[in-house]
Chains A and B, each alone.
Chain A
């Protein structure tokens, strides 16, 4: 069987609240905004017009998809997904979902319903959750290991709800249903499942279920290793997932300007962390992915050609927090180094959501052109 090589996919991120990055003031009561470490949120938390503007900016820059993130403090992602898809023509969404809070049957139907209204534009990002405290805010008291076993069970039922031709029964460790049968199905037959998590449990479960496996931006050697691990875990199931790397590019016309901006980002993030009492979040302490980013940051601030990890040191590696810093050409070159390892999805988001979404258009064009030169097979 010949397998068509996937094209490069760019993913950005949505937000519903404007951020003012011009002022140096930090907002101590708000805490660290989920969508940026820099700047102060302004205006309503759910700003419909801003959400639409940001989505359109991504589409105009050539992004394929936007991530809709999830935490106990976020708004409902399904509704934001619908808003995003309605505001754009072709842009797709990657809608994050934490198994455990929705029955897998209704989660499957919610994704299928969204996909029916916007055919082929929906993907699911499965995040099992690395922070016990945040899980408990919504009422989940399982351990992390148990959560991954539940994710396994959840995804098994979810796929049956999408695919089963007949009413089905299921009796797993966490989920039991009798006679489940959905009339609503993914518009094009299936909805891609993206999967995140850096622990052994994550890789075992993700290898079994993932269509795409997402990593945070470690140095190249780390990503090479991660890809090998996931491929080994996926092989017994006959799966060959694509790979995604998440980075926070800092680009400018000159390299000096880019580094100056990186220093400003670091200073603002440091001030923000101090204003909130300092210290590393429980999430960062529990998460293997965070520990890896923090460990990379400990050894040196710059890895490979221009992977900058100083911010991960400040935040304890919570979330996607490593950057490629440089000119548009240099950052594109840095992204292509990941492509050379087998990465075909690049999740890039900045520190000023709207402005960076616009400026990344040049990076995206350069990477797509570079793929044609460096890896013709990927250019489609």
Chain B
């Protein structure tokens, strides 16, 4: 099982939404602004991002529709659509993603989020327990994978799903392998995700904790009989400045805004959908808060007060510094075995433009340098 760094195939992901909104930018317009959505995606494409994530929430815009729209307004940008098993039957979901892949010319991947918060699940009628949900995801992904990869009629008789005579009529573009991404940081998540995922997604914890999670995923992949572990992705919220000092000034301004009136409005709006004021149920958020408890600054420039300010909700830890500093921090993660990095900012559109202009070229350049100067010894380990 290879745990060492691979500099040859590092993927950079961004994330889009359908309105100009973030923790520090209260949404002034409609929930879905088509022109903004297209511009946001095009900024990622122009900036050299490989893919963008489209999120999932019980009250949000429906992601496959957002992806369908974005595919028509971009040329090559990959689309990573978050999807929660349990709200749609798997045979239908397989057709949705195959159809989207056909019409987009092979640009789709699916990010499986099983759900870590009971109250959020119940908003869509899902009353299973956490571990039951992951057991259902296990069946769900067997069915999805089969529907994409194998033609002909089939039956299925599992604990959560049963059907007879389903025969897929549409397959991914040119019969390609459609990638599954997977999120979750609980033991049940590692077990199921390591079995099915092409890429396993983590939130941005310090290097040591990230290494621990990579080891857990790798161990479960071995247990599932896989020859290699899934690729690993880590998500951050970079805060860039022209210099480190300028970046830190910006970072503290963002934190003040989150903790102030603007952030309060954001938190109240989010509270309609996500419970606040109680400890998070999901392991990923618990882990971010645990890291934040140990200190504000970790490793080269990982900053966790922003995560603490939003109760560990979602991808919320920052990398703060000049483009050179943040690029070096991203390479630190590649050094410990990370294959994919997801970055999104607090000023969503402007940050995506800045990342593309100032950060990604440095990351790509350093990766190319390491590939060119790599000694063969590393591969012999």
Chain A interface (Cβ within 8 Å of chain B)?
45-46, 48, 72-76, 78-80, 82-83, 86, 101-106, 109-110, 112-114, 116-117, 133, 136-141, 167, 175-185
Known: A48-B103, A79-B103. A137 touches B62 (CB 8 A): no
Inter-chain contact A46/B166, CB cutoff 8 Å = no
Closest 4 pairs (CB-CB, A-B)? A116-B32, A139-B163, A76-B99, A110-B62
Residues of B contacting A141 with CB < 8 Å?
162
A331 to B339, CA, bound (A): 64
Kindly report which residue of chain B lies nearest to residue A72, judged by CB atoms.
B166
For residue B31, CB closer than 8 A to chain A, the reply is yes
Closest residue of chain B to A110, judged by CB? B62
Report yes or no: A78 in contact with B96, Cβ–Cβ below 8 A: yes
Q: Whole-angstrom distance between the alpha carbons of A141 and B162 in the complex?
A: 9
Chain B residues within 8 Å of A179, by CB: 119, 122-123
The answer to whether A105 and B163 touch across the interface, beta carbons within 8 angstroms, is: no
9 further A-B contacts with Cβ under 8 Å, apart from A138-B163, A179-B123, are: A82-B69, A103-B86, A106-B62, A116-B32, A138-B89, A175-B125, A181-B272, A182-B59, A184-B62
Give the residue of B60, B91, B127 whose beta carbon is less than 8 angstroms from that of A183. Answer: B60
Is A113's CB under 8 angstroms from B163's CB?
A: no
Residues of B in contact with A, size category: 35 or more
B122 cross-chain contacts in A, Cβ below 8 A: 177-179
Instruction: Point out which of B65, B100, B166 has the most chain A C-beta atoms below 10 A from its C-beta.
Output: B65
Asked whether, in the complex, the Cβ of A138 is within 8 Å of the Cβ of B88, the reply is no
Q: Is B290 an interface residue (CB 8 A)?
A: no
Q: Is B277 an interface residue (CB 8 A)?
A: no
Known: A46-B102, A106-B87. A176 touches B62 (CB 8 A): no
Residues of B bordering A, CB below 8 Å: 18, 30-32, 34, 37, 58-62, 64-66, 68-69, 72, 86-92, 95-96, 98-100, 102-103, 119, 122-127, 156, 161-167, 169-170, 272-273
Judge whether B89 and A76 touch: CB under 8 Å.
no
Q: Given A136-B165, A141-B162 in contact, is the A117-B96 Cβ separation under 8 Å? A: no
Whether the pair B72, A82 counts as a contact (CB closer than 8 A) is: yes
Min CB–CB distance B7 → chain A (angstroms): 36
A contact patch SS: mixed
Tell me if A46 and B170 are in contact (CB < 8 A).
Answer: yes
Q: Assess whether A75 is in contact with B30, with CB atoms less than 8 Å apart.
A: no
Chain B residues near A181 (CB-CB < 8 A): 58-59, 123, 272-273
* Residue contacts A-B, CB under 8 angstroms, 19 given: A48-B102, A75-B102, A76-B98, A76-B170, A83-B103, A110-B64, A116-B31, A116-B32, A139-B156, A139-B161, A178-B123, A180-B58, A180-B59, A180-B124, A181-B59, A181-B272, A184-B31, A184-B60, A185-B31
Contact B125 A176 (CB under 8 A): yes
| Bound Cα distance A177, B204 (Å) | 33
Q: Is the CB of A83 within 8 A of B272?
A: no
Inter-subunit contact B99/A80 (CB<8 Å) = yes
Q: Contact: A114 with B65, CB < 8 Å?
A: yes
From known contacts A75-B170, A82-B69, A83-B68, infer whether A137 and B164 are also in contact, taking CB-CB under 8 Å. Answer: yes
Question: Which of A78, A86, A139, A179 has the largest number of chain B CB atoms within 10 A?
Answer: A139
| B161 / chain A contacts, CB cutoff of 8 Å | 139
Cα A137 to Cα B164 in complex, Å, equals 5
Q: Are B123 and A113 in contact (CB under 8 A)?
A: no
| Residues in A whose Cβ lies below 8 Å from that of B59 | 109, 180-184
Q: Which residues of A contact B95 (CB under 8 A)?
A: 74-76
Determine how close the nearest CB of chain A comes to the CB of B61; give it in whole angstroms: 5
Q: Which residues from A are CB-within-8-Å of B88?
A: 101-103, 106
CB distance from B199 to the nearest CB of A (A): 23
